[in-house]
Structure 1
Amino acid sequence: MLVEKIMKTEVITLPPTATIADGLNTLRENHIRHIPIVNDNEQLIGLVSDRDVKEASPSIFMEENNHHLLKNELQSIMSQPVITVHPLDFVEEIAKVFYDEAIACLPVVSNDTLTGIVTEKEMLYTMIQLTGTNVQSSQIDVKVPHKPGILPEVAAVFGQRKTNITSVLMYPFNDDPNYKILVFRVQTMNPVPLIQDLRDAGYELMWPNNIAEPKL
């Protein structure tokens, strides 16, 4: 999935000369946590978060004469340079950027112009979609040998019962490079027949593994 499919294109921005008071009001009125700072050409030059604004704002316990701090310009507190992504980047890859950099949003830039923004909320919802947990389904985890062609082999078992697969993920089996875990989400609320089919085909189930095999 591409970033352009999930990014917000209606981005609220402010110029660097806007005041901290402007930033505070913008955050509150629009219920957002980040404000990209752009120049007259819509080029991204900085980023201000709600934390930046709060830390730069006077405390309610401070003397009234300290409220002049709200008149300081946002360019005095904005973060720069800003980590950005491109509309044609893959969502799965920018997830690593969120994790590695411990950030909560990524502005999207194309041809030196701000074109959108991706927040951790959009990122999380996209991960939910990619894993298929947003639709009613059952999960089946299958331990398989790590070899070419294993995915269509296992998927064929589901195909024999004409079961719709909503998502497939793969992750390592402990530290053993010879095996992988295939995670299937399938549109059935009764996975028992599929579980038995997989066992009959010789596959080991990691989940559900509490459904006993029928006694002979």
Structure 2
Amino acid sequence: MLIQDIMRSSNVTLKKENTIGEAITIFRKGEVRHIPIINDDSEVIGIISDRDVRDALPSTLFPQEISNVFQVSVDKIMTTNVITCSQMDFVEEVATNFYQYKIGCLPVVSSGKLVGLVTEIDVLHTLVTLTGAYQPSSQIELLVRDQPGILSEVVTVFAKENINIVSVLVYPAKDPLHKVLVFRIQTMNPLSMITKLKTEGYTILWPNEASESI
């Protein structure tokens, strides 16, 4: 899935001359938690979050100082050297930026201009949806040899049993010669499928005896 399929519009922006008070007014509406700072050419030159604004405000015990901060321009608190992504980037790849840089939002740019935003919540929701976790289903994990065609072989077993596969994930196993296949299948009772897979010689990691006793 591409970022263009999940990104939000970028109609809430500020210029570097806008004030912290103006940013607070936007954040108080509760519609956004990040505001891109753009120049006259719609290029991203910074970004601020509601947390940046909270950190800039002094204690409520000093109302005069708070009033002064309201007049400070946002370029004094914005993050520069902003990490961005493209509309045509894959969601899975962009997810690594959120993990690596510990950020909550990425501006989406096209030809250097801001066209949208994507947040960590957008990406997380998309990844959960891709796994099929929202659908009534069961999960089966197999340990298989890391060799060409192994996924096709296992899928064929499901097909012969007329089992619909909702999603498939592949993880590295502790043993580099193996991998873990995680199938989410459209049935609430996977016991017959598990029995069939065992008959075919596959090692079942989940559900296992320990899980069945819970």
Q: Same fold (TM over 0.5)?
A: yes
Equivalence for 1:169: 169
Equivalence for 1:45: 45
Equivalence for 2:61: 61
CA distance in 2, matches of 1:66, 1:192: 63
Gaps of 5+ in 1: none
Tell whether the 8 Å contact from 2:60 to 2:66 is kept in structure 1 after alignment.
no
1:18-73 Cα deviation digits (max 9, x unpaired): 11010011011143211001122221111001111111123201252552111000
Name the aligned partner's letter for residue 206 of structure 2. W
1:109-144 Cα deviation digits (max 9, x unpaired): 001110111101101101101211011110000110
Alpha-carbon offset, residue 81 of structure 1: 1.2
Secondary structure, aligned partner of 2:159: helix
Equivalence for 2:180: 181
Alpha-carbon offset, residue 210 of structure 1: 2.2
Say whether 1:207 aligns with 2:206: yes
1:146-191 Cα deviation digits (max 9, x unpaired): 10000010011110111110100011112x1111110000000111
Tell whether the 8 Å contact from 1:58 to 1:67 is kept in structure 2 after alignment.
no
Q: What do you get for the CA RMSD once the two structures are aligned?
A: 1.5
Q: Which segment is superposed worse, 4-13 or 193-202?
A: 4-13
CA distance in 2, matches of 1:78, 1:65: 20
Say whether 1:194 aligns with 2:193: yes
CA distance in 2, matches of 1:170, 1:88: 24
Equivalence for 2:120: 120
Alpha-carbon offset, residue 10 of structure 1: 4.3
Tell whether the 8 Å contact from 2:10 to 2:114 is kept in structure 1 after alignment.
no
CA distance in 1, matches of 2:12, 2:178: 48
Q: Could you tell me the TM-score, scaled by structure 2's length?
A: 0.94
Name the aligned partner's letter for residue 199 of structure 1. K
Secondary structure, aligned partner of 2:85: coil
> 1:129-140 residue pairs with structure 2 within 5 A?
129-140=129-140
Name the aligned partner's letter for residue 17 of structure 2. T
Q: Could you tell me the TM-score, scaled by structure 1's length?
A: 0.94
CA distance in 2, matches of 1:63, 1:84: 37
Equivalence for 2:102: 102
Name the aligned partner's letter for residue 26 of structure 2. T
Tell whether the 8 Å contact from 2:141 to 2:183 is kept in structure 1 after alignment.
yes
Secondary structure, aligned partner of 1:126: helix
Give the aligned length.
211
CA distance in 2, matches of 1:72, 1:64: 13
Tell whether the 8 Å contact from 2:143 to 2:205 is kept in structure 1 after alignment.
yes
Equivalence for 1:25: 25
CA distance in 2, matches of 1:53, 1:141: 45
Gaps of 5+ in 2: none
CA distance in 2, matches of 1:62, 1:29: 24
